[in-house]
Structure 1
Amino acid sequence: MAVRALFKFLLPLLLLFPGGRCDVKFHFTNQCPYTVWRAASTDMVDAEPDLPPDVQTTYSMDDRWTGSIWVRTQCSNNASFYFSCQTGDCGTGKKICAGPQPSNPVTLLNFDINNPVVSYEVSLIHGQNMRVRIQPNGGTLVDGSGPCPVVDCAIDLKDVCPPSLVAANREGRYAGCYSACDVLREPKYCCSNSSCQPDEYSKKNKELCPMAHTYPGDSNPPKYKCKGADSYDVTFCPV
């Protein structure tokens, strides 16, 4: 009888939190006119990373997860079935990518999930290969200052990217914009601590994408901490 009573007590909890987990929902939408392939610095167990145009997919992130998400562009297999991409490539030769640092330029979406709190930011510290938007659905900031804001870089840096930082595709057309540090390798562009100051390139990027972090140590805006959002919409090529 005692066992039966315990089961009746635990059953509602098991139905509410199956497997003891309460995952965070991410809705990925591709509004680009071409297919993109998702990747992550920490394993997302994403068996179908390709996202064709005008397609949305929902992914249940772990309730404890820290890492970066990005997309790869212009990907294909060669004759030996080695999978590679012109931007955001993982260097593994595989379609499913988790762990390696991607090739630059790459737009990074950085998350720190400690459910029910999710910290998020858009980073252009390693350049830009994709216009992106992160939109929480509901929720409030942990500091109580208001609702969880949209963070994005919805403008292409092409018009402010100097020729020395342009990443071209196989046809010689613009594919993205490198960061100055990754190309020029000079100390004034490669500061790596909290006292870093913006350079002439990151300032231009900031003017176009004020909600993105454009250089190491950039804390304006802060990395937002959102609590209680129903889900997060991540849009590639937002309009």
Structure 2
Amino acid sequence: MKKLAIVAALLICLLGKGVATTTFKFANKCSYTIWVATLSGANSPPLSQTGFQLQPSSSSSLPAPPAWSGRFWGRSFCSTDSSGKFSCLTGDCRTGQIPCNGAGGSPPTTLVEITLGSNDSNKDFYDVSLVDGYNLPVAVAPEGGSGDCKSAGCKWDLNGKCPPGLAVTGPGGSVIACKSACEAFGDPRDCCTGAYATPSTCGPTNYSMVFKSACPAAYSYAYDDRSSTFTCVGPQSYTLTFCP
């Protein structure tokens, strides 16, 4: 029985080595602190951290299992009140804590969306989305791998270019985030809903083109797939850089 237990342990160890994980690396090049948030998809396990602080010029990393899918975003202008409740003016999870614990971010928020390849297909899909608005510049790039493997993202500060009616102001009246036209006005054409709920009926608008012209490698509206979804086969890691 003892020999069987040893053999079983060795097999588990060997099989474990064949399960490749992907590392997500986070770098903060902003001049201010941000709080990174993570949200796993419905069929993916939560990562080891669902929220953490990232000081300027600092970095961190998280491992993810094969076939993981989810999103990342940065939160800004965060603080803890006298009762111990944590909150952020942009990207807040509304949990009252730094961890998001399965909650999504309050728009407007710049989102990084990634789906890792399964054991049958090593192709990853990734993008940076401004469909829910914009709060921080961010770029994502795979390391290693084969195929297209380009960098995606929005490297520019769009808050200074935010059209009237979309701006979210913070302390001192400065613009700290930019809403999507859908969130601001609720028009079906901006939201790609109702009669505009298909790729053939929902196209770019004057508002989405403001985002697209500044950040061509990011989603600007729901069906902006052709120039905004990127793929890479089998990269070892992804680097997410805030204020690249």
Bin for the TM-score computed over the shorter chain = 0.7 to 0.9
- The answer on whether the counterparts of 1:44 and 1:98 sit within 8 Å (CA) in structure 2 is no
How many angstroms apart in 1 are the aligned matches of 2:183 and 2:13? 53
Give the match's secondary structure for 2:68. strand
- The answer on whether the counterparts of 1:160 and 1:205 sit within 8 Å (CA) in structure 2 is no
Deviation string 1:50-98 (CA, Å, 9 cap, x unpaired) is: 0100001121012232221111101111111111001000111111013
Shift of 1:109: 0.5
* Distance change >3 Å, CA 182–CA 15, structure 1 → 2: closer
Give the match's secondary structure for 1:182. helix
How many angstroms apart in 2 are the aligned matches of 1:48 and 1:126? 19
Superposition pairs of residues 74-93 of structure 1, within 5 angstroms:
74-93=77-96
Deviation string 1:181-215 (CA, Å, 9 cap, x unpaired) is: 10111122111434221110111211111110110
Q: Taking structure 2 as the reference length, what is the TM-score of the superposition?
A: 0.86
Shift of 1:223: 2.1
Q: Which runs of 4+ in 1 moved over 6 A?
A: none
Shift of 1:11: 7.2
Q: Which residue of 2 aligns with 1:103?
A: 106
- The answer on whether the counterparts of 2:141 and 2:238 sit within 8 Å (CA) in structure 1 is yes
Superposition pairs of residues 31-180 of structure 1, within 5 angstroms:
31-42=29-40, 43-46=46-49, 49-115=52-118, 116-141=122-147, 147-180=148-181
* Distance change >3 Å, CA 5–CA 184, structure 1 → 2: closer
Q: What is the letter of the counterpart of residue 30 of structure 2?
A: C
Q: Taking structure 1 as the reference length, what is the TM-score of the superposition?
A: 0.87
Identity among equivalent pairs (%):
35
Q: Which residue of 2 aligns with 1:144?
A: none
Shift of 1:136: 0.7
5+ residue gaps, structure 1, are: 142-146
How many angstroms apart in 1 are the aligned matches of 2:38 and 2:8? 39
Shift of 1:99: 2.3
Moved more, 57-66 or 104-113: 57-66
How many angstroms apart in 2 are the aligned matches of 1:135 and 1:235? 9
How many angstroms apart in 2 are the aligned matches of 1:16 and 1:3? 20
Q: What is the letter of the counterpart of residue 216 of structure 1?
A: A
How many pairs align? 230
Q: What is the letter of the counterpart of residue 29 of structure 2?
A: Q
- The answer on whether the counterparts of 2:47 and 2:62 sit within 8 Å (CA) in structure 1 is no
How many angstroms apart in 2 are the aligned matches of 1:15 and 1:32? 38
Q: What is the letter of the counterpart of residue 173 of structure 2?
A: G
- The answer on whether the counterparts of 1:213 and 1:220 sit within 8 Å (CA) in structure 2 is no
CA RMSD of superposed structures (Å) = 2.3
How many angstroms apart in 2 are the aligned matches of 1:208 and 1:222? 13
How many angstroms apart in 2 are the aligned matches of 1:44 and 1:12? 22
Deviation string 1:110-139 (CA, Å, 9 cap, x unpaired) is: 111234332100000011111011111121
Q: Which residue of 1 aligns with 2:43?
A: none
* Match 1:199 to one of 202, 205, 215: 205
How many angstroms apart in 2 are the aligned matches of 1:46 and 1:5? 33
How many angstroms apart in 2 are the aligned matches of 1:212 and 1:33? 23
